[in-house]
Amino acid sequence: MDKAKPGEAAVVLVSGGLDSMVAGGMAREAGYRIFALTIDYNQRHRIELEAAARVAKMLDAERHVVMPLDLTRFGGSALTDDSIAVPGNGVMPGIPVTYVPARNTIFLSLALGWAEAVGATRLAIGVNALDYSGYPDCRPEFIAAFEGMAGVATREGGFKILTPLIDMSKAAIALEAARLGLDAGQTWSCYDPQNGRICGICDSCRLRAKGYAEAGLTDPALA
C-alpha cells in the first residue's frame, strides 16, 4: 500500500472479523488516520459488533461509528432472515445464501458519505477474492466500478478504495495479522454463533480454519 500523505485519513469498514482488522492494520501502517465504520445490520452474528469495538481500539481509530441499519427489513439472505439456514456443508460453487444483497455496495456508500463529510480520501475494505465465498461484491471488477462511480457521485471525487487483501490467501492474511502485531483472538468470523461460540462449519469458519492450517499457525481465537 502506498504511504499516506501527512494527515490523510481513511474510512475503514470494520466488521469485527479477521480480514477487516488486517486491512485496517495495513492502512494504519501506511500512515492513514483511521476512521472506523461498523454497520449494525441486525446480522445473525451481531456478536461480531463486540469484536469490532475491540478492533477499532487496536487500530487506534480516531473515531468509531457503529451505524444501525436494519437490513432484515429487506431480507433475502441467511444472515438477515432467520428462516434461511446458514449452510454447514462446505464452500460450494456459486453464490451461497449467506450473500446479503448489495451489502458491500451499501457499506461502501456509507463509508463514502462519512469520508466526504470528514475529508477522508480513502475507503478501506477487507474484501478478498481468493479464499472467499463467491460473493459478487468482493470481486475486483466491483471495486473498480464503485471507485469510478464514487468519482462522479461526490463534490470533488478523488476517492480511492484500498483493498489490500484482494489477492491474498487466507493463510497470508493470518500471517499478516501476526506480522502487524494484531491479536486475531479478538476478532469474530463465524456467521452462525452457537450460544456465543463459533459453529465451526459455516463457510467463514471453514475458510478461516483452512487459512490458519495452511499458515502453520494456531488461530488465537481457538487457543
Binding site for its own copies (CB under 8 A): 65, 67-71, 73-77, 95, 99-106, 108-110, 112-118, 136-137, 139, 141-142, 145-146, 148-155
CB of residue 115 to its own copies, shortest distance in Å: 8
Find the shortest distance in angstroms from Cβ 125 to its own copies.
Answer: 13
Three cell numbers at 85?
439456514
Cβ distance to its own copies smaller for residue 52 or 100: 100
Looking at the Cβ atoms of 42 and 169, the one nearer to its own copies is: 42
Nearer to its own copies, 127 or 162 (CB): 127
Distance between CA 147 and CA 161 in Å, rounded? Answer: 6
Specify which residues 123 forms β-bridges with: 11, 161
Q: Taking a C-beta distance cutoff of 8 angstroms, is the pair 190, 199 a contact?
A: yes
Nearer Cβ to its own copies, position 5 or 155?
155
Query: Least Å distance between CB 151 and its own copies?
Result: 8
Q: How far is the CB of 106 from its own copies (least distance, A)?
A: 4
d(CA 206, CA 185): 16
> Scanning the structure block, which residue is given the C-alpha cell 479477521?
18
Residue closer to its own copies (CB basis): 18 or 138: 138
The answer for residues whose C-beta is within 8 angstroms of residue 183's C-beta and 6 or more apart is 58, 220
CB of 200 to its own copies, least distance (A): 27
Strands 63-68 and 33-40: parallel
> Are residues 131 and 138 in contact, defined by beta-carbon separation less than 8 angstroms?
no
Cα–Cα dist 52/23, whole Å: 13
